[in-house]
Amino acid sequence: MSEEKKPGRRSASDAHNRRHDKSKAETPVGSPPADRMLRPQTFQRPTTRDLLLANRETSFLAFDERVLELASDPRVPLLERMRFLCISSSNLDEFFEVRVAGIKQKILGGVEGGGIDGLSPMQELSMIRRRTHALVKRQYQVLNDLLLPELANEGLHFLPRTQWNDETRVWVRDYFQNEIAPVLSPLGLDPAHPFPRLTNKSLTFMIDLRGVDAFGRDSGYALVRAPRSLPRVIAVPSSISGKPHAFVFLSSILHAEIAQLFSGMEPLGVYQFKITRNSELYVQDEEVANIRRALESELMQRNFGDVVRLEVASNCPNRVIKFLQKQFRLDDGDVYRVDGPVNLNRLISIPDSIDRPDLKFEPFVPAVPNTVHQGADLFAVIKQRGDIVLHHPYESYEPVIELVRQAASDPDVLAIKQTLYRTGHRSAFVKSLMDASLAGKDVTVVIELRARFDEEANIALATRLQEAGIQVVYGVVGYKTHAKMLLVVRREKNRLQKYVHVGTGNYHATTARLYTDISLLSSSKSLTDDVQKIFTQLTGLGQTQNLKRVVQAPFFMHSFVLERIQQETRIAQEGGQGRILARMNSLVDARVVEALYQASASGVKVELIIRGICVLRAGVPGLSDNIRVVSVLGRFLEHSRVWWFGADADERVYIASADWMPRNFFNRVEIAVPVTGEAGIRIREECLEYYLRDDAFAWNLDSDGAYRRVQHRSDEGEPFSAQQTLIDRFNGRDLSD
């Protein structure tokens, strides 16, 4: 076929685009037809019965395995590798608290039906046990065989009891007597002292005693709980240890000195263990009159849900383990023997407590664009510049904080509205909102009480805000408010002007330095009007119609994503070059996966950057040949949600608060916003194209469902790291226009 007659993207799709010009003009992006506005969209199963899907839970475990792989990667600074080990342990804790706990509840409830991959709850649990036992074993191998020896080579010694010299033993005894023993409460187990209710993830010691107690009774088992107020790692003075930097684990001190708590008796064995409980909160939204009070009641029980996992020292005798299993009603598969501290995630304090910059990531200073530098009149800048995009953490989050601060003190600002899902303990946003209210401005905050593991903090925050005279709304019953929106209403020249911030991340200044996210500052009438309508809906519960720019869940986002995928599919079927680039935390929705499979079969090139869970199977012959899935990990937690659909004249980049998951599409209030022009091109380059090029810290999802590290070719120069490239590009720079 000659070059001039070869069907190209535009020539094949021009007619298609012309056919849809009229409909696009009548129905603005994000606004569904009126007959689809009456109620939120509901979940529907895909039409393809034999859809090839991966298991969600094993996909998460594969993600945690990738995190653990960074803990053994010599290219990562040594103390940062310790941090990744702790993160992998913390991830696994939450996995058991929520996902495994939910599967066990299904089994107890007699649920036999399979999930989207066809596995029954019992099959899932069996598969999870195999995978997690191997993962935990690998965690301790990384700690004992890699990290601790390498730290010792760097002069950082974590001393087991077998390596204590006489001076260290004396120092440990004094430390125990003065700093630890006074806060411990040993509990002998007998009919008057039954087995206690241990809190979730607490470090506890089981002591096997021999001898007669003070009342002449034969001793048996006793328990000692280690309060969370005690440090898990203790520095030993170099004058005592004979080493420049020496540390001992709290568990080692307790093993060595716990006999002091049982005078006249002999501990035959001391065995540390930790339990993980079901931590999900169960509130039937439609049955409660006050969701806040219902949550407060549930929170009291969170630390005492059903036990789902027992971690115990590897030297613990079987008879002791069986005793603990009986107390917690656990099967053998729920027991994890570990060769080291049972609370690995509590070692997260080690990197921060050791002053060795050479063993950590190099310091990084976010860039501040000149247009929004400190002291700039942000309202004037936004109005003049139009849409302003900030890429965090490479660019500072301070302009977002400063926008609320200026709004609070500006006499021309009449109202501030903001959603809060997760925010810091000492949030600058909260202070500014309270200042604004005290200054007489109308302040409304939509706060999501059910943000998992932040429920208690958000209830306390709601109280503080209400005491400052702020109108607090708890979102919509049955739907978590996950959208990230800020609206400021200001009087300018006898008219009202609105300004917005929307983003992919939470209003949390600390995580803004650790997570990759996108912020958009704008005074665009179409966007500010849409955000105002959504706030009115959240507070007044009326219908939101005729959105010009925002795509909103649970009303239209799912069908919108499907339609955009199908549009690319039609273009490819007509001989064009359909293309989809998307980045998110998780891909779980089966109907979206089905649409992507159909797109791939039609010739659409699909490239997905998915940090964590992905149930889609990439590169399967005849099904997903044209789909690539890549996972990129690194110094910063990848958190941005960015979608790009390459349909010729309608090519557009979207930033979103939502992953492609049923919960985001159908059970949450979410938004996606198009970003056009130079800002959209920049987002596409930095958030999508850089990550698809990464061959330093990227993994490809293969057709067999396994993730394999992308191998850098030595003949291609230095490895390309997306995160490092962006760090080098922005580090500490004041950016001009």
**Best-predicted range by mean pLDDT (227-231, 255-259, 600-604):** 600-604
Question: Which residues, 6 or more positions from 115, have their beta carbon under 8 angstroms from its beta carbon?
Answer: 55, 56, 124
Given this model, what pLDDT does residue 22 score? 35
pLDDT category at 23 given cuts 50, 70, 90 is very low
pLDDT category at 9 given cuts 50, 70, 90 is very low
Token reading at 3: 């070059």
Residues of the chain with pLDDT > 70, as a percent, come to 86
Given this model, what pLDDT does residue 714 score? 73
Looking at the DSSP bridge assignments, the partners of residue 389 are: 520
CA gap 115, 55 in Å, rounded: 8
Backbone region of residue 39 per phi and psi (left: phi > 0; alpha: psi in -120 to 50; beta: other values): beta
Token reading at 708: 């394999």
DSSP 217: P
Mean pLDDT computed over 224-234: 91
Is the pLDDT confidence value at 563 over 80?
yes
CA neighbor of 521 nearest in space, from 374, 365, 401:
401
CA gap 660, 658 in Å, rounded: 7
In the three-class reduction of DSSP (H, G, I as helix; E, B as strand; rest coil), residue 324 is classed as helix
CA gap 515, 510 in Å, rounded: 9
What are the phi and psi torsion angles at 508 (to 5°)? -140, 105
Mean pLDDT computed over 453-465: 74
| 628 close to 618: Cβ distance less than 8 angstroms | yes
CA gap 350, 352 in Å, rounded: 6
pLDDT category at 358 given cuts 50, 70, 90 is very high
Given this model, what pLDDT does residue 552 score? 95
pLDDT category at 26 given cuts 50, 70, 90 is very low
Choose the weakest-confidence range: 129-133, 218-222, 419-423, 601-605.
218-222
Mean pLDDT computed over 216-220: 62
pLDDT tens-digit profile of 626-655? Answer: 999 999 999 999 999 999 998 655 678 999
Long-range contacts for 440-443 (Cβ within 8 Å, ≥24 apart)? 441/407, 441/408, 441/413, 441/414, 441/415, 441/416, 442/414, 442/415, 442/416, 442/471, 443/415, 443/416, 443/417, 443/469, 443/470, 443/471
The rounded Cα 205 to chain-centroid distance in angstroms is: 31
CA neighbor of 671 nearest in space, from 427, 461, 421, 450:
421
In the three-class reduction of DSSP (H, G, I as helix; E, B as strand; rest coil), residue 495 is classed as strand
The rounded Cα 500 to chain-centroid distance in angstroms is: 25
The whole-chain average pLDDT of the chain stands at 87
Given this model, what pLDDT does residue 426 score? 82
Q: Where are the alpha helices (DSSP H) in 95-237?
A: 101-108, 121-141, 148-153, 166-175
Is the pLDDT confidence value at 292 over 70?
no
Maximum Cα–Cα distance across the chain? 101
The rounded Cα 448 to chain-centroid distance in angstroms is: 16
CA gap 45, 682 in Å, rounded: 36
CA gap 146, 148 in Å, rounded: 6
Question: Which residues, 6 or more positions from 344, have their beta carbon under 8 angstroms from its beta carbon?
Answer: 85, 86, 89, 139, 140, 143
Task: Give the torsion sign (CA, 108, 114, 120, 123).
Answer: negative
CA gap 62, 68 in Å, rounded: 10
CA gap 577, 569 in Å, rounded: 9
Question: Which residues, 6 or more positions from 299, have their beta carbon under 8 angstroms from its beta carbon?
Answer: 281, 455, 456, 459
Residues of the chain with pLDDT > 90, as a percent, come to 65
User: How deeply is 31 buried, as exposed, middle or buried, from its count of CB atoms within 10 A (0-12, 13-18, 19+)?
Assistant: buried
Given this model, what pLDDT does residue 21 score? 41
Is the pLDDT confidence value at 25 over 50?
no
In the three-class reduction of DSSP (H, G, I as helix; E, B as strand; rest coil), residue 656 is classed as strand
* Single-letter amino acid, residue 706: A
In the three-class reduction of DSSP (H, G, I as helix; E, B as strand; rest coil), residue 571 is classed as helix
CA gap 392, 509 in Å, rounded: 11
Q: Hey, which residues are catalytic here?
A: 482
Is the pLDDT confidence value at 421 over 80?
yes
Given this model, what pLDDT does residue 1 score? 41
Mean pLDDT computed over 665-689: 94
CA gap 476, 448 in Å, rounded: 9
pLDDT tens-digit profile of 430-450? Answer: 999 999 999 999 999 998 876
Is the pLDDT confidence value at 183 over 60?
yes
b/e sequence 58-76, b meaning 16+ C-beta within 10 Å: bbbbbbbbbbbbbbbbeeb
pLDDT category at 570 given cuts 50, 70, 90 is very high
Given this model, what pLDDT does residue 648 score? 58
CA gap 526, 538 in Å, rounded: 19
DSSP labels, 576-587: S--EEEEEES-B
CA gap 288, 15 in Å, rounded: 54
Token reading at 317: 């005798």
Give me the residue label for tokens 């383990």.
321
Give me the residue label for tokens 């609370």.
343
Residues constituting the chain = 737
Q: What is the enclosing helix (H) or strand (E) of 16? A: helix 9-26
pLDDT category at 11 given cuts 50, 70, 90 is very low
| 204 close to 223: Cβ distance less than 8 angstroms | yes
| 56 close to 128: Cβ distance less than 8 angstroms | no
CA gap 451, 463 in Å, rounded: 16
Instruction: Supply angle C-alpha 422, 428, 433, rounded to 5.
Output: 90
pLDDT tens-digit profile of 708-718? Answer: 999 987 777 88
Distance set, CA 40 to CA 72, 421, 450, 483, 546 (Å) = 46, 21, 20, 16, 15
- What do you get for the CA distance between the two ends of the chain, in Å? 46
Is the pLDDT confidence value at 343 over 60?
yes
CA gap 168, 234 in Å, rounded: 12
Given this model, what pLDDT does residue 5 score? 36
Q: Write down all domains in the chain, each with its CATH number in brackets.
A: 29-54+552-735 (3.30.870.10), 155-354 (3.30.1840.10), 368-548 (3.30.870.10)
Q: Give me Rg for the CA atoms of the chain.
A: 28
Give me the residue label for tokens 């021009």.
14
- Other residues' Cβ atoms within 10 Å of the Cβ of residue 380: 10
CA gap 483, 671 in Å, rounded: 6
| 633 close to 639: Cβ distance less than 8 angstroms | no
Give me the residue label for tokens 């037809």.
33
Instruction: Check residues 153 and 212 and name the one with the higher pLDDT.
Output: 153
